[in-house]
Amino acid sequence: MKEFYEVTDPEALKSLAIAERVKILELFEDLEPRTAKQIATELGENAARLHYHVKELVRVGLLEQVDTRVKGSIVEKYYEPVAKVIQVKLQLMIEENAQQLSDVMFTPFRTTEKDLMRTLNRFVASDQDVRKEYKNTFAYNLTEFYLSQDERNQFVEDISELLQKYKGFKKESGRRKFKFFDTLFPLTPADPTDDSDDPFDDSDE
C-alpha cells in the first residue's frame, strides 16, 4: 500500500461523492484487508449492493485486490485502499467540474453528521449506567486564526503527523473506535493589500 495517492481521474472523483463508497474507504483506517462480505457486515449493508460499490472502487483505482484465499469451495477476495491517504488534486478537479468537487467535499460532512447523530441517539436512548460509558469520549473544537502560506503548510503537516501517530494504533481490548473530522478553509482573500476582515462576497449585487 502506498503512503499517498492523488486523485486526478474524474471517474474516481465521482466515487468520492457517493456516501457508501466513502464509508467503505473509511473502514480501512486500521489498514487491514477485508472481503466484500466483511465490509458489508461491518457497515450493516446489503451484501449484493455493497459488492457493487466495492467493484466500482476497484474499477476506478481507489481499492485494489491484495489477496485471494480458498476456503473449501469458496474463493475469498481481499481488498484494501490504494494508499493510506487518498487526496484530491483540487485545482485539476475545479477545472474539470466545480459542482462535482463540491459534492466530494460535502460528502464527508454528510457521512460524519449521520455517524454523529447515530451516536447521540444511542446516548439519549441509553439508561444512566450506559451513559457513564460516554464520559470523556466527546471532543469539539472550532476556531479561526491568521496564517501565512508557510504557516498554513506547517499546520497541515503537524496535524497529519499527529493523525498518523494515532492511526497506527490497532483494534484491541480497551480501545473503542472514534471518528475525527477536520477541515481548513480560507475566510478572506489572499490579497496582501486588503486589510479587511470581510469574508468572500459571491453575491451578484
Region 2-137: CATH code: 1.10.10.10
If residue 66 lies in a helix (H) or strand (E), which one and from where to where? strand 63-71
Distance, in Å, from the CA atom of 24 to the CA atom of 102, rounded to the nearest integer, reads 20
DSSP type of residue 60: T
Q: Cα 54 to chain center, whole Å?
A: 16
Handedness of CA 167, 170, 175, 178 (dihedral sign): positive
* Spans of the chain below 70 pLDDT: 89-105, 126-131, 191-205
The predicted structure's pLDDT at residue 81: 92
Is 26 within 8 Å of 35 (Cβ atoms)? no
Grid cell 481488498 in the structure block, residue: 79
SS3 assignment, position 15: helix
Rg (CA), the chain: 20
Q: Enumerate the β-bridge partners of residue 81.
A: 63
DSSP type of residue 170: P
Q: What are phi and psi of 150, to 5 degrees?
A: -65, -40
The predicted structure's pLDDT at residue 204: 44
